[in-house]
Chain A
Amino acid sequence: MSTFVIGFYTILIAASAGLAYFKQDRWFMMIFSLTLISFITGIIGGAQALRSIAIFVALLAAAAGVSYTFKEFLIRIASPNVAKELRTAPLTAAFGMFVIFTYAIAGIFAPIIAPFGEAEVISSAFAPADANMLLGADQLGRDIFSRIIFGARNSVGIALMATMLAFISGALAGLLAAVKGGWFDQLMGRLADVIMSIPSLIFSLLMLSIFGTNMTVIVIVVAIIYSPRVFRLTRAVAGNIVVMDYVEAAKLRGEGDWYLVRREILPNSTAPLVAEFGLEFCFVFLLIAGLSFLGLGIQPPTADWGSMVRENATLISFGDITPLIPAAAIALLTVAVNFVVDWMLFRSSGLKEQ
């Protein structure tokens, strides 16, 4: 029994006793079940397992603390109306916003933050980490840390562009289909059906094999693949608004289709559309990451998370986790966006459960 193990159990048991005394039932149940779980893992895995539990709990607590303070910070700098909304945000949503904020900073200021250029060869291949290179070098001797920072700009940037293109074309087609109806609606609907009936990864691989792999092609192909989702949602949301009396009134006033879309329908359908934008971004981001991982997405020497995983994958068989960091960066951003979207969906009561 080392001092660490004794300290570990003392803190847990003291914490659960304290919580039970002050009748914090939910927290007590959580902390005490953690104590029971650590008894079992401690017997099986020894001090090493307890240490990983402690690290995990500490990370969780740190994340919660950061999210809470970031939320309070946002509430203080936001206007009163926005602040009122922000107060209802759960901790997960605050965490999501913090992560998105961090990525945005990393992406925008990449050349200032990164110690080396994204294609700069500074040492030998797979050199281990030292004072100069935080995470070591990749297969060509470039600094992995700098490339991860630049990846925030390239991978997220291209996904954002594709999402915006998909969103604008899909939403425009959906709004027009709802307003015009008739053959245009039918044609667009069937077109969306066909595109959605081909698996997205397969469709993009087919297109990339034909048009070659460059950024423009990727953005356009991915936008075409994901615009039908936006189209269907917009069509459904706008379809409910078009039948409202005030739209009827505007039509009788003699307003054109464009006016109806811009002034009557769009302002009333923003909430679900904004949430859909977040979800759409996740799909697009994961698809492009997958393509890059297959070596068919963003091409070298541009730093990109998906291709970085592929290039350094050999390190994994030596037990090195560096190649997993870019993959984790992808997962973290997607989770963060999902957390924020969950909150927004709940707020706009689209998914409110009893």
Chain B
Amino acid sequence: MGDLLTLVAKRLGYGLLTLLVVSILIFFAVELLPGDTAQAILGQSATPDTVAALREELGLNQPAYIRYFDWLFGAIRGDLGVSAIPPHQPVISVIGPRFTHTLFLAAYAAVIAVPVAISLGVIVALLRNTVFDRVANVLTLTSISSPEFFLGYILILIFAVKIPIFPALATVPTDVSFGELLYRTFLPALTLVLVVTAHMMRMTRAAIINLLASPYIEMARLKGVPPWKVIVKHALPNAWAPIINVVALNLAYLVTGVVLVEVVFVYPGVGQLLVDAVSKRNFPVVQAVSLIFAATFILLNLAADVGSILTNPRLRHPK
């Protein structure tokens, strides 16, 4: 067990280090701005007074490394600075409610996609090289190759315009029941499900086929173990690692995919906020949202690695 814990601890340490480096990158990228940040935000027509006021507001009068540590420790405590655009709200209060919406949408998609994709992936792997497999291959490839906004608009066209059963825009009023919320956000969730399911199916299929080709499965079959027992007792313990990996990688993918889908369906999440902040050059918000997305991405990848270490039978039962 000692080895296992060391491995996990090492991986955790490495993940934290990556997160730190990424935070440095996100913070100092903005320092690369030619000239003054306050000037860049306000544009050429700003008076020296307003520029000076904004500099004071953003704390730009201190050296960069001090501001970095202020920003980092603030971020850990949940204080991400103030928005650069009037009325200068704290970034955290802008992001907070939207982040819940984004997480809700991603979770909604994941709850549908994960079981469907894994069971379909296993079925396709067992039926490999049949017509069914070929058709599934072409369909998943098409789904992966389509931009998210293409799938989104097709769903709007079919399920909101031609057959109006779902709303085209996923607006979320504050006081709606949970069922109503699920109904309103069904189309964006379905778009994400289509993309992620295709990815997960292909990866699960590859992992299972890889596994079924290994000699010990052949051995189990030859000595007369019943087929279901081959899968449950022999294949599954070794399949957990690749499956956990597949799921975590795709959850991480959801984090990025959500930006485009939110814009298509005008869903009030962080993705829309990010796009908005980028076009208005609202750097504190861009930095904060980038940090949150990057942290989620890194944590999910970390979870994938730790999960596959913990479920690896070879590491769990050392000789």
- Identify the A interface with B (CB < 8 A): 26, 29-30, 92, 193-194, 197-203, 205-211, 282, 286, 289-290, 293-296, 306, 309-310, 313, 316-319, 321, 323-324, 327-328, 330-331, 334-335, 338-339, 342, 353-354
Contacts and interface: CB of A to CB of B under 8 A. Distances in A.
A308 B283 CA distance: 28
A335 B138 CA distance: 9
A324 B146 contact: no
Given A206-B278, A335-B142, 20 more contacts: A29-B131, A92-B138, A199-B293, A200-B256, A202-B289, A202-B294, A205-B278, A209-B286, A286-B145, A290-B148, A290-B149, A290-B260, A293-B263, A294-B259, A295-B279, A318-B161, A321-B157, A327-B149, A331-B142, A339-B141
Contacts of B283: 209-210
A286 B147 CA distance: 6
Given A197-B298, A338-B145, A328 B150 contact: yes
Nearest to B274: A205
A194 B297 CA distance: 12
A316 B161 contact: yes
Contacts of B153: 309, 313, 316, 323-324, 327
B16 to A, nearest CB: 12
Interface residues of B, number: 53
Given A290-B260, A316-B161, A198 B22 contact: yes
A307 B37 CA distance: 29
Contacts of B298: 197
Nearest to B134: A92
A319 B161 CA distance: 6
A198 B287 CA distance: 13
Contacts of B157: 316, 319, 321, 324
B145 A334 contact: yes
20 contacts: A202-B259, A203-B290, A205-B274, A205-B286, A205-B290, A209-B286, A286-B145, A293-B147, A293-B149, A293-B260, A293-B263, A296-B278, A310-B149, A313-B153, A316-B161, A317-B160, A324-B153, A324-B154, A327-B153, A339-B141
Interface string B177-193: 00000000000000000
Given A194-B22, A205-B278, A207-B29, A331 B294 contact: no
List the 6 shortest-distance A-B pairs measured between CB atoms, nearest first: A334-B145, A327-B150, A331-B146, A209-B278, A199-B256, A335-B145
Nearest to B169: A317
Contacts of A206: 26, 29, 278, 286-287, 290
Interface of B: 18, 21-22, 25-26, 29-30, 32-33, 128, 131, 138, 141-142, 144-150, 153-154, 156-157, 160-162, 168, 209, 213, 252, 255-256, 259-260, 263, 274-275, 277-279, 281, 283, 286-287, 289-290, 293-294, 297-298, 301
B168 to A, nearest CB: 6
B275 A294 contact: yes
Contacts, number: 138
B161 A317 contact: yes
A103 to B, nearest CB: 14
Nearest to B141: A338
Contacts of A294: 259-260, 263, 275
B222 to A, nearest CB: 16
A334 B131 CA distance: 23
A316 B141 CA distance: 25
Nearest to A328: B150
A200 to B, nearest CB: 7
A199 B290 CA distance: 9
Contacts of A323: 153
Nearest to B256: A199
Contacts of A296: 275, 278-279
Given A202-B293, A205-B274, A353 B128 contact: yes
A183 to B, nearest CB: 18
B275 A205 contact: yes
A324 B30 CA distance: 36
B168 A201 contact: no
A199 B294 contact: yes
Contacts of A318: 161
Contact of A331 (B25, B32, B33, B150): B150
B147 A199 contact: no
A295 B25 CA distance: 25
A26 B131 contact: yes
A330 B150 contact: yes
Contacts of B149: 290, 293, 309-310, 327
A26 B259 CA distance: 43
A48 B293 CA distance: 46
Contacts of A293: 147, 149, 260, 263
A342 B33 CA distance: 42
Nearest to B293: A202
B206 to A, nearest CB: 8
Contact of A209 (B154, B162, B255, B277): B277
B145 A331 contact: yes
A208 B283 CA distance: 11
Contacts of B289: 202
Given A296-B278, A306-B147, A327-B149, A194 B252 contact: no
Contacts of B287: 206
B242 to A, nearest CB: 15
B121 to A, nearest CB: 14
Contact of B22 (A197, A310, A335): A197
Contacts of B156: 316-317
Contacts of B294: 197-199, 202
Nearest to B33: A210
Nearest to A206: B290
A157 B150 CA distance: 21
Given A194-B25, A313-B153, A316-B157, A210 B32 contact: yes
Contacts of A310: 149
Contacts of A306: 147
